[in-house]
Each structure stands twice: as structure tokens, then as C-alpha cells.
Structure 1
Amino acid sequence: MGSLAIGFTVGAGNFLPFYGVLLLGLIAAVSIGLIAWYNSKRPPGWENADRPSFIPNLNLEEPASAPNPDETTDS
């Protein structure tokens, strides 16, 4: 029987896409975490901390003028 030789060398070039995806995932996780942190209720000691200008302000409160679904009638 003949031998089957597979020529695969492990080098830095083979892992470059892996490191790219890893770096993009890290940047995305940090960005999403920062937005969530600054838009959440702050822990004790951080209540009066200023929001950085690059963090978007997410208004999660319901508008007062929106009708309540329980109050609307179809009749």
C-alpha cells in the first residue's frame, strides 16, 4: 500500500482570518456593552456620572400620549 501524505503547514497566515473575526467580535462586544452600561440604571456611586458624548441616548420610556391597549374598544 502507498502512503498518503497530506501537506498542511501551520503558520501565521492560516490563522489571520480567525484573528480578524476575533478582533471584530471583541470590538462589537465592547461597543454594545458600553451602550448598555451607560443606558442602564447605574450602580451605587455612579448615579450622577456624566454620559460620554459618543454614547447614544436610548429613550426606553413609553410616551404618555400612547393609548393603553386595555382602554381601546373595537365597538
Structure 2
Amino acid sequence: MLVLSQLIAVAGQFPTYFVIVYVVGFIAAVTIGSIAWYNSKRPAGWEDAQRPDFVPDLEDKESKS
């Protein structure tokens, strides 16, 4: 809780749009990274793991034909 209150105090020293850009950028990086990780080759032992429904399948269309 102390960390949250310190974060709010520090955020008050920056313009709001500056903080929003960092928050949106962090969320975008986590989302894109998660999609890339789920579409990458599975580590040993995870080969049969199911992909979540919300992750799009990014297979190359040329490799299917």
C-alpha cells in the first residue's frame, strides 16, 4: 500500500498525458509479448498445451499451401 501511495505522489509531478502514454505502452507491450509467446515454439513439456481462445493464430498462409 505504501508503494501505491508513493506512486500516486510521484505521478502527480508529471503531466497526466505523460503517465497515460507509459501505462498504455506497458499494456500494449504485455499484450503483444503475450501473443508472440503463445505463438512461438513451445518449450519442452509444453508441446501439447492448448492456446487460449483470445490469442489469434498467426500461421503463415504460404506454408499451408
Q: What TM-score results when the alignment is normalised by the length of structure 2?
A: 0.69
Structure 1 residue 15: deviation in Å? 2.8
Q: Runs in 1 of length 4+ with deviation above 3 angstroms?
A: none
Go from structure 1 to structure 2 and tell me whether the alpha carbon gap of 1:63 and 1:47 turns closer, same or farther (over 3 Å shift): closer
Tell me, in whole angstroms, the C-alpha distance in 1 between the residues paired with 2:30 and 2:48: 22
Unpaired runs of at least 5, structure 1: 1-10, 65-75
Percent same amino acid at aligned positions? 52
Q: Which amino acid aligns with 1:43?
A: P
What SS does the aligned partner of 1:62 have? helix
Q: Is 1:63 equivalent to 2:64 in the alignment?
A: yes
Counting helix residues as a fraction of each chain, which structure ranks higher? 2
Unpaired runs of at least 5, structure 2: 1-10
Larger radius of gyration: 1
Structure 1 residue 33: deviation in Å? 0.6
> For residue 40 of structure 1, what is the aligned residue in structure 2?
40
- How big is the alpha-carbon RMSD for the aligned residues of Structure 1 and Structure 2? 1.9
Tell me, in whole angstroms, the C-alpha distance in 2 between the residues paired with 1:30 and 1:14: 23
Q: How many residues align?
A: 54
Q: What TM-score results when the alignment is normalised by the length of structure 1?
A: 0.61
Question: Which aligned pairs between 1:26-37 and structure 2 lie closer than 5 A?
Answer: 26-37=26-37
